[in-house]
């Protein structure tokens, strides 16, 4: 990704929003999957704003590169990133019934795996929080085109903040490179969007940035259920 430039005013606006959340919505949680956007948000949080905790869904199927950047992030920001794992009984039951790679066999089985490894754990992360912060951007996917910076997430009953909603991919990379922020090494291997290892692949030039996620499914429905489009802008 060729870096361009991100205006300081845009950076300041995102940081000010995080400061406001830290003051007015504590306790709040930022969920990270260590993608490029999430590294920008983490860098904006920095070492302060401790009323905002940082959590990650460790599905048990993440690539090693994700664990590597997770460790580097904890070191750089002197923060413990809270790991949230799926319930082991549910994973064991799923594997007994569907096989260890059962998510390839049908959309229903893929969604059930995401439900067990991501959606249910996310509900535990958000329980008791007053706000949820994400690194989502509008241009990441057609399903995110209407994303607001601040919105009510009815499916989780929580105020959701997307400070990078109007950032471009180029601005994200300009930010990361200008500040030498660590990022997932898979981005340099053609992975713009990184999730679980068996469900993520590199994309070719010209392909949609989400083309490497669940590539065997219909592009229209490729979400894992974490970010449901029921939110109302505020
Ligand atoms: S992305 Fe794949 S491995 Fe990860 S939870 Fe969803 S179906 Fe399971």
Residue boundaries of the structural domains of the chain: 8-228
pTM of the entire predicted model: 0.91
* Whether pLDDT at 94 is above 60: yes
35 Cα distance to chain centroid: 6
* Whether pLDDT at 63 is above 60: yes
Please give the number of the atom of ligand 1 that sits closest to the Cα of 110: 7
CA dist 193 and 219 (Å) reads: 14
Third-level CATH fold of 8-228: Rossmann fold (3.40.50)
**What's the sign of the alpha-carbon dihedral 154, 113, 186, 34?**
positive
CA dist 138 and 142 (Å) reads: 8
113 lines ligand 1 (CB under 6 A): yes
Would you state the pLDDT for residue 233?
34
Q: Which of 41-45, 185-189, 212-216 has the lowest mean pLDDT?
A: 212-216
Would you state the pLDDT for residue 234?
32
pLDDT band at 221 (very low <50, low <70, confident <90, very high): low
CA of 167 to the centre of ligand 1 (A): 27
CA dist 159 and 127 (Å) reads: 12
213 lines ligand 1 (CB under 6 A): no
62 lines ligand 1 (CB under 6 A): no
Q: Which of 54-63, 136-145, 215-224 has the lowest mean pLDDT?
A: 215-224
222 lines ligand 1 (CB under 6 A): no
**Six-digit token string for 186:** 């898979």
Catalytic center residues = 224
pLDDT band at 227 (very low <50, low <70, confident <90, very high): confident
**Which protein residue has the closest C-alpha to ligand 1 atom 3?**
196
CA dist 15 and 17 (Å) reads: 5
Phi-psi region at 54: left, alpha or beta (left = phi > 0; alpha = psi -120 to 50): beta
Please give the number of the atom of ligand 1 that sits closest to the Cα of 116: 5
Q: 48 with 166: CB under 8 angstroms?
A: no
* Whether pLDDT at 152 is above 80: yes
CA of 50 to the centre of ligand 1 (A): 30
């Amino acid at each position: 990704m060729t870096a361009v430039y991100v205006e300081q005013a845009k950076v300041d606006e995102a940081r000010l929003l995080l400061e406001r959340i830290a003051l007015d919505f504590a306790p709040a949680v930022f969920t990270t999957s260590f993608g490029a956007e999430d590294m920008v948000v983490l860098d904006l949080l920095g070492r302060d704003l401790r009323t905002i905790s940082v959590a990650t869904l460790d599905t048990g199927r993440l690539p090693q590169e994700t664990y590597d950047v997770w460790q580097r992030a904890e070191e750089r920001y002197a923060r413990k990133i809270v790991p949230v794992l799926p319930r082991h009984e549910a994973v064991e039951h799923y594997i007994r019934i569907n096989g260890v790679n059962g998510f390839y066999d049908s959309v229903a089985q893929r969604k059930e795996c995401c439900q067990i490894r991501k959606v249910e754990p996310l509900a535990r992360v958000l329980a008791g929080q007053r706000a949820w912060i994400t690194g989502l951007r509008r241009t990441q996917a057609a399903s995110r085109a209407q994303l607001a910076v601040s919105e009510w997430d009815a499916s989780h009953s929580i105020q959701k903040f997307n400070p990078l909603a109007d950032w471009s991919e180029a601005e994200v990379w300009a930010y990361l490179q200008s500040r030498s922020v660590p990022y997932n090494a898979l981005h340099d291997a053609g992975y713009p969007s990184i999730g679980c290892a068996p469900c993520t692949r590199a994309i070719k030039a010209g392909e949609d940035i989400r083309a490497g996620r669940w590539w065997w499914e219909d592009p229209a429905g490729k979400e894992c259920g974490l970010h449901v489009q029921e939110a109302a802008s505020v």
